Amino acid sequence: MKHLFLAVIAISLIATSMSPFLTSCVKSEAMTVVSPNGKISVDLKKDSSGKLYYTVSRHGSSIIDSSRVGLECKEFRIGNNAEIKAVKHSSFDETWRPVWGEESEIRNNYNEMRVEISELSPKMIEYAVVFRIFDDGIGFRYEIPEQENIDSITIMDELTEFSLAEDGVAWSIPWNHEYYEHLYEPSLVSRLDTVCSPLTIKMTDSCYVAIHEAALKDYAAMNLRVADGTRLTSYLTPWSTGEKVFTKCPLCTPWRTMIIVDKPADLLLSRLMLNLNEPCAIESTEWIKPQRYIGIWWAMHRKVNTWEQGPIHGATTDNTKRYIDFASENGYDGVLVEGWNHGWDGDWSAEGDKFSFTKPYPDFDIEEITRYAAEKGVKLIGHHETGGATINYENQLDSAFALCSRLGISTVKTGYVNLLLDGKELHSSQYGVRHYRNVIETAAKYNVMIDNHEPVMPTGIQRTYPNLMTQEGLRGCEYDAWSADGGNPPEHTVTIPFTRCLAGPVDYTPGILNYENPVPPYTRPQCTIAKQLALALVLYSPLQMSADMIENYEGRPEFEFLRRCPTNWAKTIVPEARIGEFLTIARKDIGSDDWYIGSITNSNSHQGKIKLDFLDPNYEYTATIFADGPDADYKDNPYPVVISEIPVKHTSSLNLNLAKGGGAAAIISKK
Ligand code: NOJ
Ligand code: CA
């Protein structure tokens, strides 16, 4: 049996093709499964009382000690009195092409162990625990097939644990703080309270783990709570009534995932979460397009304009045309306009049910604006702020997206500014998860792409619905306009790539080039201008906003990087990375032979020597570098940017000198 299993692994290692390679199921009693490269191993064990535990090891050392699996439901419990019926092993190896992303091809290669179980609790329940082991981590989930004994299921708790073998340093945010708009703090795992995932942990100098989930559908988001020592238990976001999930058979829970890698750079390159999501459900996807956009946005956050009607209303026909002209002249695809519709006058976040998503304000001539935009080859990006009133929004979804369709508005930014949805439920509850999914699926029917603010934490469903382009779910650039604490500290942007960004694209909206006249007085981006440029490359989003007011881009040579930086990539490389300290990313454009580099640091300066060995050895290139000026410093002198051009080839290195709170950006083009 062991030999047969090894043979399956060997074959799967050889097979890398565009078509899936699936071996037939093999029945076995062994409850062990290893990764295709043999380095990560998972064991499922049953104790004498019938409780189920799993362990994870890597290179033979324990990563996860004995940890429970199971579900506590009103109607029954599983993982408590288990009887193993069958253990089935299989392997899978496929390379697939995402509609957009950080690379044009993704390999999905794993060994699967499906453990089929029956349990008397108090009725006889049949279910399976399914493990998939990749070279860079694991995923597992519970599956309860249709069966006679069960009708509806009320999940009160998931028993899933992650008992870490070491007390590592974790970068976390609290589980229920304002839709994840918080600064990640490092702390020992044993000192954590209840936090949300992704939870990134440095276990040792050569072992980094990130716990999260994949394919969250009609279920509650998973948070993590320290039970004792380094034992984390899952804590599902509850409904206001206390239950976690209302469901029925057949049930497949979201995947519980763990990226397990040697170094921080590899966290960023793991595609395990995407691989655990279902393939694209949208038949023809040619309408789904990565874009760069500008918007009537920063002006409201900076109080130059208002969302509501009045003398400085931002969303006017003339102002929008001005933005459309600028977009057209500078190669931007879209213009976001907030405050275009009825509902903003008054306390909009408390009275979200007053929002209309079809009725423009009188000074916003939507027919003329969309006609003008089409003439200029630019698209209007719609905005649906709901104030968390999802019932009001759902009642208008079809008419709102039908209007978009008719006017050629192919992207909509949504928003949910309110601590509770409909005054009652948390964003990350099953209630919220159902709503967000409804919006994405309805938008897809009308060929509309979504940029979702105040979301539930992403889990990779953009593989299935690639019209879900990007989401917020982090403390973004808006805090640099008005946050009383002065804006996002330099550490924040070198931490989020290793935490929130592991969950998927972020609409952080960098690109502020003018820090003058702040309100409140000390609030502004806490970084140099060169770092603002680099963030547009480092923080991946297929919809990338250059967030400043357009007048702040006039006459600024460094703006060239923002207006050229693509949003869809053939390849991504991470030459250097240290969580909370520094990060350099190189990406190859999908539509040309150009490479782009972004490098960022925290409040310390950083000297990076980036080998360009990823360039094609048959060509010579020119690197245009946007670097911090010699005296630049994020606190006292954020503006100086030096732009230089040097010849480079695959044997060259780029010496990047990053100021305190600084950055560097580069475009490398074939000569
Ligand atoms: C919060 C969003 O994150 C921001 O981008 C938007 O401008 C405001 N809500 C208003 O909808
Ligand atoms: Ca927000």
Instruction: Give pLDDT tens digits for 566-615.
Output: 999 999 999 999 999 999 999 999 999 999 999 999 999 999 999 999 99
Cα 139 from Cα 554, distance rounded (Å): 49
Measure 397 CA to ligand 1 centroid, in angstroms. 19
Ligand 1: atom nearest CA of 297 is 7
Nearest to 452 by CA among 429, 430, 476, 431: 476
Pocket of ligand 1 (CB under 6 A): 297, 338, 385, 415, 417, 453, 472, 478
Amino acid symbol at 454: E
Pocket test for ligand 1, best of 178, 304, 417, 480 (most atoms within 8 A of CB): 417
Residue of the CA atom closest to atom 11 of ligand 1: 385
Helices (H) and strands (E) in the chain, counts: 12, 39
Q: Positive or negative, the Cα torsion across 425, 429, 434, 435?
A: positive
> Which helix or strand (DSSP H or E) is residue 299 part of?
helix 298-301
Pocket test for ligand 1, best of 303, 308, 341, 385 (most atoms within 8 A of CB): 385
Look up residue 361 and give its two tokens.
Answer: 């304000």
Residue of the CA atom closest to atom 10 of ligand 1: 385
Which ligand approaches the C-alpha of residue 349 most closely?
A: 1
Pocket test for ligand 1, best of 351, 453, 480, 548 (most atoms within 8 A of CB): 453
Cα 347 from Cα 359, distance rounded (Å): 18
Residue of the CA atom closest to atom 7 of ligand 1: 297
Nearest to 457 by CA among 139, 158, 173, 101: 173
Measure 305 CA to ligand 1 centroid, in angstroms. 14
Which ligand approaches the C-alpha of residue 181 most closely?
A: 2
Measure 450 CA to ligand 1 centroid, in angstroms. 14
Amino acid symbol at 452: N
Measure 363 CA to ligand 2 centroid, in angstroms. 26
Residue of the CA atom closest to atom 3 of ligand 1: 453
Please list, in sequence order, all residues whose beta carbon lies within 8 angstroms of the beta carbon of residue 549, skipping any fewer than 6 positions away. Answer: 298, 299, 302, 304, 514
Between helix 390-407 and helix 366-375 the angle, nearest 10°, is 50
Q: Is there a contact between 542 and 101 (Cβ–Cβ < 8 Å)?
A: yes
Measure 296 CA to ligand 1 centroid, in angstroms. 11
Name the stretches of the chain with pLDDT < 70. Answer: 1-30
Between helix 317-330 and helix 366-375 the angle, nearest 10°, is 20
Which residues are identified as catalytic?
478
Measure 301 CA to ligand 1 centroid, in angstroms. 9
Ligand 1: atom nearest CA of 383 is 11
Q: Is there a contact between 194 and 173 (Cβ–Cβ < 8 Å)?
A: no
Q: Is there a contact between 31 and 45 (Cβ–Cβ < 8 Å)?
A: yes
As a whole number of Å, the end-to-end CA separation of the chain is 57
- Bond preceding residue 520 cis, omega within 30 of 0: yes
- What percent of the residues of the chain are helix, what percent strand, and what percent coil, each to the nearest 5? 20, 35, 45
DSSP per-residue letters across 62-75: EEEEEEE--EEESS
Which ligand approaches the C-alpha of residue 414 most closely?
A: 1
Ligand 1: atom nearest CA of 454 is 3
Q: Is there a contact between 160 and 52 (Cβ–Cβ < 8 Å)?
A: no
Nearest to 525 by CA among 542, 541, 508, 537: 508
The beta-strand segments (E) located in 243-374 are: 245-248, 251-252, 255-261, 291-296, 334-337
Helices (H), 15-82: none
Three-class SS string for 248-281? Answer: ECCEECCEEEEEEECCHHHHHHCCHHHHCCCCCC
Which ligand approaches the C-alpha of residue 509 most closely?
A: 1
Starting at the earlier edge strand, list the strands of the sheet with 569-578.
569-578, 582-589, 595-601, 663-670, 621-628, 641-648
DSSP per-residue letters across 213-251: EE---SSPPEEEEEEETTEEEEEEPPPTTS--EEEESSE
